[in-house]
Chain A
Amino acid sequence: MPDSPHAETLDIETTQPREQARAAVVSVENVAVSYPSREGVFHALSDVSLRVARREFISLIGPSGCGKTTLLRLIADLAQPSTGTIRVNGGTSRQARGDRSYGYVFQTPALQPWRTALANVMLPLEIIGLAANERRARATAALMAVGLGDAASRYPWQLSGGMQQRVSIARALSLRPELLLMDEPFGALDEITRDKLNLHLTDLWRDRDLTVIFVTHSIPEAVFLSTRIVAMSAKPGRISRVIDCGLPRRRTLDIRNTPEFLAISKQVRDALSDAYANE
């Protein structure tokens, strides 16, 4: 993606000014999720608190069963906490969902096979009742933004896995949300494709002033993308450590060879090995 002319002005330090930090996009306070299971009560999440400021890129990382997907679903109002409160854009998560204030990217592309790539991107715009020509214009722009302008008329089964996931990102972007919630979107892709999409995503995040909460299993992916990394552990699912990731906002793949990158990776790895030790 070409850099926009004023991209330099966005290329500032990662530490957020105090005013912005206070106006959190997402705030999770003392949230717990538990439900009865055969072996007694299962604690999917226990006493989780997290504040996400505008233009942050947060990665949730941890072993399976640590509740990272559950936390994302709570923020998206696709699940409800047993206790605690969740605020999105200052209101409830239900209001945020009603306002279509986030875009959600799932583990699988979840494209409708009867719709072309363009028609898939237009789906949310149909739901919100946008006029047909506006739908087409916006969806075309979103497809161009993920570099799939010339695949508009192809059906999902005619696209590779990486292209399908890019269509699903375009679909999430078509609503023009400021908040993007992504649940292991690149988990099923090969390493090279994943690198390409990571680079693409970090450009989108920076150029569009997005706030992103990103679930992943991969330490390099988390360090490459994030401003903060939230390491979680299981049984009960909880936040074990939060690691600041002070890399510049403009990132290229070779940043992964810098000492800073490797140092942060080590911190994350240490935090995670503690989490896995509890298993």
Chain B
Amino acid sequence: MSPATPLAVLALAATVGIAALMALTRLANRPGRAAAILTPMLFAVLVLFLWEVLTRGLAVPQVLLPAPSVIARAFWNASPELLQDVRQTVLFAAIPGFVCGSALGMVTGIAVDRSPFLQQGLLPLSSFASVIPIVGVAPIMILWFGFGWQSKAAVVLLITFFPAFVNMVAGLREASPIERDLMASYASTYWQTLWKLRLPAALPFLFTALKVNASLALIGAIVAEFFGAPVYGLGFRISAEIGHLALDRVWAAIAVAAAVGSGSYALLTAAERAATFWHPSQLPGSDRNS
């Protein structure tokens, strides 16, 4: 490769990049749904294109950064294994841990709200527990629950507990004194007030917790696999393929994890919009991007 080639590649990439960005800016400023959907998609295509051109044109070593096409081929070739990895990491570790951790956190939040004793005893303890690093806990969980998905689910449960817990405690304080007096004037029971006023009012907080927990669960499950796992799982795949310097496969596994992560986030955002359509942040005319 002549010394002129990298310069030519850079020049080409810069020209295409700037031209495309200018076109995208004009598109983004146009009103309407089509522009709102097209802009990020075209932007992603542009990023992939530049990535491809730069890695190939500058002959970047595969170990440092493989081209998107190389990653795509690795993904295609390894797709049966990756599917099994997703099953292991997401279905057996992340989701059960997420569900149990979030549910346990919310139930504990209600219990703490109900009992002043727990409020004084458990609240400081749980904020202490929240700063425990998962990398420290993961080996212990493996010691306790073995190499299988159980230990990973336990790690996920531990790290998703706290966001659910604090958001439930904060959310239960959302209902105003007047709204509570109103329920009291109906001689409403504790559970009726909880169900018909305080939990609905807490929903925006709970969805915040769930969205935080969705990404925490995935990260937790993947990192926990670094410390020992059966021969599949996204975390296992990443650490094993790094050892073989098969970086295209590592990137393929990362891409799959990212896809799962943003998919779950999108799902939760849609659920949030449906459940808290009444909240000022969801009403038309509020500061929503797009």
Interface residues of A (CB under 8 A from B): 73, 76, 78, 97-98, 100, 102-104, 106-108, 110, 112-114, 123-124, 126-128, 155, 157, 175
Contacts and interface: CB of A to CB of B under 8 A. Distances in A.
Contacts of B290: none
B245 interface: no
B192 A127 contact: yes
Interface in B232-290: 276-279, 283
A113 B178 CA distance: 14
A106 B188 CA distance: 17
A114 B197 CA distance: 10
Interface residues of B, number: 20
B179 A110 contact: yes
Contacts of A126: 196
A128 B187 CA distance: 9
B118 interface: no
Q: Classify the secondary structure of A's interface with B.
A: loop
A78 B187 contact: no
Nearest to B188: A127
Contacts of A110: 176, 178-179, 182
B51 to A, nearest CB: 45
B250 to A, nearest CB: 46
Q: Classify the secondary structure of B's interface with A.
A: helix
20 contacts: A73-B181, A78-B185, A97-B184, A98-B187, A100-B186, A102-B185, A104-B181, A104-B182, A107-B178, A108-B178, A110-B176, A110-B178, A110-B179, A112-B179, A113-B278, A113-B279, A127-B187, A127-B196, A128-B186, A157-B283
Among B183, B185, B196, B283, chain A packs the most CB atoms within 10 A around the CB of: B185
A104 B185 contact: yes
Contacts of B186: 100, 123-124, 127-128, 175
A76 B183 CA distance: 12
Contact of B196 (A76, A78, A123, A128): A123
A242 B154 CA distance: 69
A99 to B, nearest CB: 8
B200 interface: yes
